[in-house]
Amino acid sequence: MGLGIKIPKGVFAAGKEKLAEFGDNVELPPARYTCILVKGRAVSTDKGPQIVFDLKVAGDSEYAGKKFAIFFALTEDRVVYLFRALTLLGYDVDNLDEAVLEEILNDIASNTPVVRVTSKHTGEYTNYRIDKLLEELSAADAEGGTNGVETENAADTQAAGGKAGIKSDAHAKAGKAAPAAKEADPPAAKAKTPLKKEAQEPQPEPDPEPEAEPEAEAEEVAEGEQEVELTVGMKVSCTIKEKEHQAIVREIGEDGKVLIESSTDKKKYRIALDRLTLLS
């Protein structure tokens, strides 16, 4: 009877080959998974060119060994998700172009990094997101570890060994302590070096803004110095935190403190009377 259509020769063989390459592509329940990023590749789809990350669930849970894929569209409004994933993996995307992207995909296939992936269901779709690069685990450690799944439910997490248990069990089974985080290779060492971002030195925290009307520190009055008679509205000068300020008197308190408004930083300070100098 037949289907009534003409099917190109070799199409079914090609389908089997692609299916084997693509893997199971299971829909994982909502949870966090320790996964091995097996490779990244470029594909052409009816929605345009895309980058595909092929991943495999690690550990010994019921999902261990299951394969799935994350697709990144190469369009102006969606490519940011690829940039985010590459940044989390430690790659420098400042000068990303087709040649650099090809080098990164080759590097991923060579190193098969271990990552933490979150699975979430939105309507009919399952969304996967790479949350973190687990630099302390190798692919062999992750595959030899226990569990590898962290559910959203705290009780399930504890029963499964917990987030910390996934890492410690993997290293215990491998017979070694968790290694230190990998450092970027020196510039002349490997071809992949320019792809990786160098670690940045921590920057000091900025000084906090002074609170309104802070109490200035008291200073010893020089011997023989005369007191200054002030009234509200007079112009004065003083030193606050080793900086000279010119100010206007706004209030004179009975406790010997004067409220001034600095013309230097536009802030108000309450300061001892004997620290002020009257301006002519």
CA distances for 69 relative to 66, 117, 126, 138, 189, angstroms: 10, 11, 11, 20, 32
Q: What is the pLDDT of residues 104-141, one digit of tens each?
A: 999 999 999 999 999 998 877 888 999 999 998 898 88
Tokens of 182: 């990998």
Better pLDDT: 16 or 21: 16
Residue corresponding to tokens 């959203």: 152
pLDDT of residue 213: 45
| pTM, 2 dp | 0.50
Tokens of 10: 């070799």
- Is the pLDDT at 84 greater than 90, yes or no? yes
Closest CA to 38 of 60, 73, 67: 67
All structural domains of the chain: 11-195 (no CATH), 209-280 (2.30.30.140)
CA distances for 53 relative to 36, 40, 80, 82, angstroms: 10, 4, 15, 10
Closest CA to 194 of 91, 117, 279: 91
